[in-house]
Amino acid sequence: MKKTRKKQEPRTLTPRQLEILTRIRDGRRRNGYSPTLQEIADELGISKITVFEHVEALIRKGLVTRSTHRARSLEVTDLAEFPDEGPTRIPLVGRVAAGQPIDTAQTDDVLDLEALFSTSHARRAIRVTGDSMIDEHICEGDFVIVEDRPTVRNGDTVVALADGENTLKKFFREGGRVRLQPANGQYKPIYPKEVEVQGVVVGVIRQYRGTGRRR
């Protein structure tokens, strides 16, 4: 007689199941083993039987495995997905001083690049060409994060359409005219007849590439 294969449950999670799954993941990362059902229950302020029922559901969904007769053996499978593990989120493991070495500390924090540049206005990234802003530590090849903003203040670094050409400069109003100031002594300020600010710079992203030589 042919055996019927048990159908796996859909992997849609309830908020409580996601909380429990996250605590299993974090416990294994922090300690090398999973928390007990009672520890999870105490953290969430619910009963141990409720945790047990949710863990059983996670096992049926293929998101958690457990070894029989072994304590702290809950493991998250590769099928599990977490909202805090998006491609823009990087583990934040501590601090390091440029002047002297200090130990980095393992934490559960993350650096969310999207949240870092969060704004109520529309954002976009623009690649920089040229060296007119190097004294503001904006170099060729960098990406500037630009937001659409209804008001521009003196001293803001902006992407502007000046007399028909796009440029990245510091913005100043001077009487009845606008000065677009480079941050490089080799370049002169621009006093455009027509200027339209395309966006205000709120951040800079730089990617470093290895420079080691092959032998």
- Side chain identity at residue 73, one-letter code: S
Instruction: Give the H/E segment covering residue 170.
Output: strand 165-174
- Residue 169 designated active-site: yes
- Residue 132 designated active-site: yes
Catalytic position from the list 132, 170, 188, 193: 132
> By three-state DSSP, how is residue 100 classified?
coil
Q: Which long-range contacts (CB under 8 A, 24 or more apart) does 106-114 make?
A: 106/30, 108/26, 108/29, 108/30, 110/84, 112/86, 112/88, 113/88, 113/89, 113/205, 114/86, 114/88, 114/89
- The position carrying tokens 């650096």 is 111
Catalytic position from the list 169, 170, 188, 193: 169
**Separation between Cα atoms, residue 119 and residue 200, nearest integer Å:** 12
**φ, ψ of residue 75 in degrees (nearest 5):** -135, 140
Contact 84, 34 (CB under 8 A): no
**Active centre residues (catalytic):** 132, 169
